[in-house]
Chain A
């Protein structure tokens, strides 16, 4: 090769590279802009808000980063998701705050990367501008706000899109390389998120459908095969499923619980589909479903057939999963609208929409049926207006109308019906438009859909930001104060009578402070995720067993350990430990607001050589109308030596047989009384028996608890001399 020809070759190669970069510029620009938008929102997300999910993924990934294996609170866990391996290295950064920031930005990059396979898939079937629109819409959907969370959906979404692209290529081209790539992607999908087991199942279903509609499939069925035979075969298959679902699958608890209320499966499918339809802008459902039915005599490429087959499989399997999950959750947890399990359909619906509009694949009957379905969903779906509705971000567009435009629910519902009519009108008009008019419609649809979706995504992210801003108010600054105080040494949290709010605060504290290795409670109210321990009283001096073997104890409200606190926030106190936990004192039968019912007790395990205990009993917080007021509470306080006895088969502190003293009195409504009793050296115990409880609900208050009096105990040592 001469020097001149080598230079020419190099120049051509440079131009080709430049051309390719220029060609990629629009897509890269879209992704970059989307990433910037979501990164802005990610920056505004000050703390995790979804518990225990976010804490669970955090724990797993932190454990991988620190120990190389997945565990939660030191308990080994089986593999749960590749997502935790993706974010694990981020925990090697400086501190929790830095790592959390980095994870959010990484999430944004990962989720917006879904645009690339979406574009590549779309490019196989539609023009370049349409493919760009599909890619843009795919990363504009409201569910993109999941990038603000430490959740496996972040990786699952682009992986599902990547798998879809590879599967369509494999079924379209049928070359070894593509098939291997698609099989690998499909098999890895369940490792990203369990729900994506639907990807290999869809792959198999799609492959079957492609074969079924191919000449080879028709030849295998024979010439005499009719559509009636196909329906019969499908019914036979459903019969086999009906038998199997009772015979084999009933041994699976999840399946059994979900199908026991099978009537709810359909309701959950409709609710989730309604949220998705609204979130995507209604039109993609109408045009997308219509676009799956080819025109009469329309020549179909292998990729066309592959795309239709895969999309049909997705459209059947993902809603079914959402329905089952919803029914199961309803039985075991709570009623949720599981759009969270459906949003993977979005890129395929966008692409089907592009195909329908670009190729005018808009047959009348499918169009009418799709419009009818969309109308049913829009009209019957219960719109949720919570700001930051995690499980169904599709409602965010309605939330925006409610919050920013100040539309009441009725106006929003009317607006959605208008959107439905406009969508159906646009799709119907597209049947008749050609040339420039069709291009205008396509462009208009692309802009409207991306705008609608981005609006939803930004609103949903705003809701998440608002929740984070609210939560952070209840955390100290800096929130990783325990890590800072211990220098990373392990800490055991111990609480009791933890309410839902306490559990949330504990989850947040655990997230921000990786030094918290154990979360224990005295009464089994410690929150998930992971193992919790209920230490028992081993000795009368307040020693608890087992020993946590951590150098620090984080004691919560009601827990008074022996030792001086080195740091604290609110009711939380960080106390150094040297061996097992030893309580100085504890309360029984007294809630966080200090109310007791018919029984309350105070245990003094340590630190006290004798003196008095002042028992303060009060009803100052209860001042009902004297005409209807309940009688005063009658109380009797007894103090005496403490011993460990068996109560209901458990070791508990009890009064020894020979008490030292007892006092009786009354506690009138709206008043307070003190009773003072002498005590000797610890350990000792004071018990209160109360007669005359009341229910605030009986006196016009919303509180339905049965209450006696508010109580506090104050130990006063004997004055020396």
Chain B
């Protein structure tokens, strides 16, 4: 034990950059390996690759607010790319993915280290960062491959699901709100933990702006906020708690404006329909598809104990962060289900908390986890720093102004298919033509992603209004063909036609997620 402690002390004395740089390199190596191993189609990984958020970004680039279930946060970030690539998500994916992996991935790793180090010293920070590096590999080992029956329910290749969909999402290989939420909340948590040490109001405001941006990406991230308030309360930072709430107001205002602009109505407060039975069912399915629910529960409980004992306020923040996503949201039926594999994006913003709790279980080793006696700095107000000013402009004012300028989408610029979550930009890049008995079009830019095309047909325009006051087109056309080429030869005179580009992450499969759609043409 003494040797172990001496080793720990030696590691703590090393400059963090010398440890974090190799960890970052290892993380990027893991990302590259995952990118190679997961099934993908060009740069397209996973299903439901953030299409409606992308559509919202494209719309916001035109100063339109969509009513398609997307929120303003990601749109405010991505609209320049959406405009630059003509609304084609596959064309923009190389830029988006590389930026997410390099910026977002690095931010998560460093923030995870920062939180761990501020709770239990550098060694815990390194353990947490290493946990983030290894988490993709461990998660692949955790879930069962092949088919399995548990309590009469069949589970089909959960390891494949995690490899192809869950891990690429978590590492930023897809354009998704969940990854950006994860980055924003991890950075917010780090800033808040730092504020608990420094007592500096600037850190609190920065944390609130980051958390507010996360709310703009997805309001469900609000489950993060109670943990923040409890942590500040435990540290008796009452004024900081008020400051945190106050700094969230721009985000709340932007959300309200966004919904008002998109649907023409002020939104009602969202509610969480938590249901214990849903949580129980999801837990049971996690047992069925995964190696051991008990081990996951143990990580949550043991890690929480370790972190809370070491640093009560900071530990509570991390524990509540995990509970918000893995208990509260996992118990909301709309969050999806483990069995269908649809719940993972909903709980993804809590992944860093799970890693931190896993590292926190190391604090159970006798002697290591004893409370830190160092006196924390008192709560104080600082003059706003340059960073705060920049953050207020970038994360507070800029989105608010952008959203404030937005108006409802004009008719036939966005098409909604089946549900608000499946909207796509209407793009002239197809150059769709109906000549004689043939329909032909130009393949939109896709940066190596192999596309297929669905041909839609209807006697009339094939558009219904998605919602009162909305210009979005709810597609009312029948799919009559799916092709890999760019022609279609079975035209019915008098009918309207559209062509939509689709792609599946399994390159050999035609069809998949709807990415872009043409304006209608009428066959002569």
The chain A residues found within 8 Å of chain B, CB to CB, are 221, 224-226, 228-229, 231-233, 235-236, 238-239, 242-243, 245-246, 260-262
Contact = CB atoms under 8 A, between A and B. Distances in A.
Interface residues on B, range: 20 to 34
B292 A246 contact: yes
A-B pairs, top 3 by smallest CB distance, nearest first, are: A232-B364, A246-B292, A242-B294
Nearest to B297: A242
Nearest to A228: B309
Given A232-B305, A246-B291, A261-B151, A225 B366 contact: yes
Contacts of B367: 224, 229
Contact of B369 (A228, A243, A262): A228
A232 B366 contact: yes
A232 B151 contact: no
12 contacts: A228-B370, A232-B309, A232-B366, A233-B366, A235-B298, A238-B298, A239-B295, A239-B361, A242-B294, A245-B294, A246-B295, A260-B151
Contacts of B374: none
Contacts of A229: 366-367, 369-370
Interface in B292-327: 292, 294-295, 298, 301-302, 305-306, 309
Contacts of B295: 239, 242-243, 246
A239 B357 CA distance: 13
Given A228-B371, A235-B305, A235-B364, 13 more contacts: A226-B370, A228-B369, A232-B305, A232-B363, A236-B361, A236-B365, A239-B295, A239-B298, A243-B292, A245-B292, A245-B294, A260-B150, A262-B294
B294 A246 contact: yes
Contact of A232 (B292, B294, B369): B369
Contacts of B306: 232
Contacts of B309: 228, 232
Contacts of B365: 232, 236
A235 B301 contact: yes
B305 A231 contact: yes
B370 A233 contact: no
Contacts of A245: 292, 294
Contacts of A232: 305-306, 309, 363-366, 369
Interface of B: 150-151, 291-292, 294-295, 298, 301-302, 305-306, 309, 361, 363-367, 369-371
A258 to B, nearest CB: 13
B521 to A, nearest CB: 58
B492 to A, nearest CB: 54
Nearest to A261: B151
Contacts of A242: 292, 294-295, 298
A235 B302 contact: yes
Contacts, number: 57
A231 B301 CA distance: 12
A233 B364 contact: yes
Nearest to B290: A246
A221 B367 CA distance: 10
A245 B305 CA distance: 22
A209 B258 CA distance: 63
A238 B364 CA distance: 11
Contacts of A221: 366
Contacts of B370: 224, 226, 228-229
Contacts of B302: 235-236, 238-239
Which of A225, A233, A242 has the largest count of B CB atoms less than 10 A from its CB? A242
A224 B295 CA distance: 30
A221 B302 CA distance: 21
A450 to B, nearest CB: 43
Which of A226, A235, A245 has the largest count of B CB atoms less than 10 A from its CB? A235
Nearest to B291: A246
A232 B363 CA distance: 8
B99 to A, nearest CB: 38
A224 B150 CA distance: 47
Contacts of A233: 364, 366
Nearest to A233: B366
Contacts of A226: 370
A245 B297 CA distance: 14
Contacts of A228: 309, 369-371
A354 B150 CA distance: 48
A261 B287 CA distance: 10
Contacts of A238: 298, 302
A553 B365 CA distance: 70
Nearest to A225: B366
A236 B369 CA distance: 12
A412 to B, nearest CB: 32
A171 to B, nearest CB: 25
Contacts of B364: 232-233, 235-236, 239
Nearest to A222: B367
Contacts of A225: 366
Nearest to B284: A263
Contacts of B369: 228-229, 232
Contacts of B151: 260-261
A227 to B, nearest CB: 11
B277 to A, nearest CB: 13
A235 B360 CA distance: 12
Nearest to A245: B294
Nearest to A237: B364
A242 B292 CA distance: 8
Contacts of A235: 298, 301-302, 305, 361, 364
Which of B151, B363, B370 has the largest count of A CB atoms less than 10 A from its CB? B370
A434 B248 CA distance: 64
Nearest to B362: A236
Contacts of A260: 150-151
A229 B364 CA distance: 7
A232 to B, nearest CB: 4
A450 B227 CA distance: 54
Nearest to B296: A242
A225 B1 CA distance: 14
A236 B299 CA distance: 10
A225 B369 CA distance: 11
Contacts of B366: 221, 225, 229, 232-233
B362 to A, nearest CB: 10
A262 B151 CA distance: 11
Nearest to A230: B366
A424 B179 CA distance: 56
Contacts of A231: 305
B283 to A, nearest CB: 10
Nearest to B283: A263
Which of B291, B298, B361, B366 has the largest count of A CB atoms less than 10 A from its CB? B366
Nearest to A226: B370
A260 B288 CA distance: 9
A239 B150 CA distance: 23
Nearest to B295: A242
A235 B364 CA distance: 7
Nearest to A232: B364
B202 to A, nearest CB: 34
A386 to B, nearest CB: 29
Nearest to A243: B295
A174 B370 CA distance: 35
Nearest to B280: A263
A262 B295 CA distance: 14
A260 B292 CA distance: 10
A232 B309 CA distance: 10
Contacts of B150: 260
Contacts of B291: 246
A262 B298 CA distance: 15
Which of A225, A239, A261 has the largest count of B CB atoms less than 10 A from its CB? A239
A232 B298 CA distance: 12
Nearest to B150: A260
Nearest to A236: B364
A19 to B, nearest CB: 54
A260 B151 CA distance: 8
Contacts of B301: 235
A573 B295 CA distance: 61
Contacts of B371: 228
